[in-house]
């Protein structure tokens, strides 16, 4: 689908026929927005702009020259846009091309709030967007605002995670998965903001943009640097939370090992006594200790003595552990 914004008439044409592009000139068009364009639409725009559109592989490259470059015919900039999907994010690349005549072409494969918001601003005050250069800067401004919202969203999720960990008595795998997912999202968002910084640095070095853009550009660079610092803080806080969670897990594991160790030590004297009496020595006088009742029943006192000795030794061990404050 192609959306064309015409300069003279302050008019947006959606689903424009490719033949319309041939009938218009550079002075008529401000912006050509291409959403999932067909091959026919791509060819029509390439012929009109006398340039080649970026392939998906070129858009997704991480080299600095792929993020912002200039040639004799146009300025080419590729940028990644974050799209929130529940607790995670997906990254969608967008390609921008600005011709020497000031016509902006954007190529994307998904719908973004950035474009809808920029279109609203364009309709409300079209006089502030005399060229595609101004429109491109506005798109970046809106995108940076949305990046700030994403940084704030991640900061809130990190704060909520920290509160959950402090309130829980035990840490399970789900908490560690949440920490890992937030770390991945924070790193991706930080890289995305760095991507924006590289584009702004390229624009700042360029001599093609109108002079009235550079004061806005300075403010945008400050905003981006601030967002990078906030993203770094969130990532550092996640590292702290992860260390705290692993520390709590180690404490829980140590408590379990401690319980088994104490139980083993408590029953060790009883086990020793039972082992001695289980050796079947020839001379064991305790076996002959009996108590005869009036009804003729014989109570084996030797067994009672052995069991009592086991209980006494175990109780003595428990008392010693409590005295040492090991329990």
| Average pLDDT for the chain | 82
47-74 burial, b for 16+ CB within 10 Å, e for fewer?
ebbebebbeeeebeeeeeebbbeeeeeb
- Selection from 84, 260, 306 nearest residue 185 by Cα: 84
> Which of 61-65, 202-206, 282-286 has the least mean pLDDT?
61-65
Q: How far apart are CA 235 and CA 155, in angstroms?
A: 9
CB-count exposure of residue 30 (10 Å: 0-12, 13-18, 19+): buried
Q: How far apart are CA 148 and CA 162, in angstroms?
A: 21
pTM of the full structure: 0.73
pLDDT over threshold 70, residue 186: yes
> Which of 68-77, 128-137, 152-161, 294-303 has the least mean pLDDT?
294-303
Q: Does the residue 182 lie in any domain?
A: yes
- Assess whether 281 and 150 both reside in one domain: no
Q: Where residue 269 falls among pLDDT bands split at 50, 70, 90?
A: confident
Q: Does the residue 261 lie in any domain?
A: no
Q: Does the residue 145 lie in any domain?
A: yes
- Assess whether 61 and 142 both reside in one domain: yes
pLDDT over threshold 60, residue 306: yes
Boundary residue ending a domain (251, 285, 315): 251
Query: Which has more confidence, 23 or 81?
Result: 81
Q: Does the residue 219 lie in any domain?
A: yes
- Assess whether 203 and 77 both reside in one domain: yes
Enclosing domain of residue 243: 2-251
- Assess whether 220 and 297 both reside in one domain: no
Q: Where residue 65 falls among pLDDT bands split at 50, 70, 90?
A: low
Q: How far apart are CA 327 and CA 325, in angstroms?
A: 5
Q: Where residue 138 falls among pLDDT bands split at 50, 70, 90?
A: very high
Q: Does the residue 256 lie in any domain?
A: no
Would you state the pLDDT for residue 169?
64
Would you state the pLDDT for residue 226?
92
- Assess whether 15 and 154 both reside in one domain: yes
Looking at the structure of the chain, the number of domains it has is 2
């Amino acid at each position: 689908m192609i959306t064309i914004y015409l300069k003279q008439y302050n008019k947006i044409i959606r689903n424009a026929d490719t033949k319309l592009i041939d009938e218009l000139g550079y002075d008529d068009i401000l912006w050509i927005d291409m959403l999932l364009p067909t091959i026919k639409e791509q060819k029509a725009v390439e012929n009109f702009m006398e340039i080649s559109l970026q392939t998906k592989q070129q858009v997704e490259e991480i080299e600095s020259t792929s993020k912002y470059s200039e040639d004799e015919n146009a300025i080419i900039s590729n940028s990644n846009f974050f799209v929130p999907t529940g607790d995670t994010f997906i990254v969608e690349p967008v390609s921008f091309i600005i011709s020497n005549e000031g016509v902006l072409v954007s190529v994307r494969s998904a719908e973004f709030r950035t474009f809808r918001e920029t279109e609203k601003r364009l309709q409300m005050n079209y006089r502030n967007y005399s060229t595609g250069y101004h429109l491109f800067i506005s798109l970046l401004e809106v995108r940076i605002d949305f990046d700030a919202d994403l940084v704030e969203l991640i900061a809130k999720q990190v704060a909520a995670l920290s509160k959950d960990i402090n309130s829980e008595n035990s840490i399970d795998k789900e908490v560690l998965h949440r920490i890992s997912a937030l770390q991945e999202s924070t790193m991706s968002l930080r890289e995305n903001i760095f991507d924006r910084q590289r584009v702004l640095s390229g624009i700042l070095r360029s001599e093609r943009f109108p002079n009235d853009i550079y004061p806005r550009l300075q403010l945008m660079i400050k905003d981006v640097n601030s967002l990078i610092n906030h993203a770094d803080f969130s990532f550092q806080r996640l590292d702290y939370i992860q260390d705290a969670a692993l520390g709590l897990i180690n404490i829980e594991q140590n408590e379990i090992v401690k319980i088994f160790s104490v139980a083993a030590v408590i029953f060790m004297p009883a086990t020793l006594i039972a082992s001695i009496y289980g050796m079947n020595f020839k001379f064991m006088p305790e076996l002959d200790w009996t108590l005869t009742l009036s009804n003729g029943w014989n109570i084996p006192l030797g067994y009672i003595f052995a069991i009592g000795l086991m209980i006494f030794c175990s109780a003595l061990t428990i008392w010693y552990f409590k005295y040492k404050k090991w329990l």
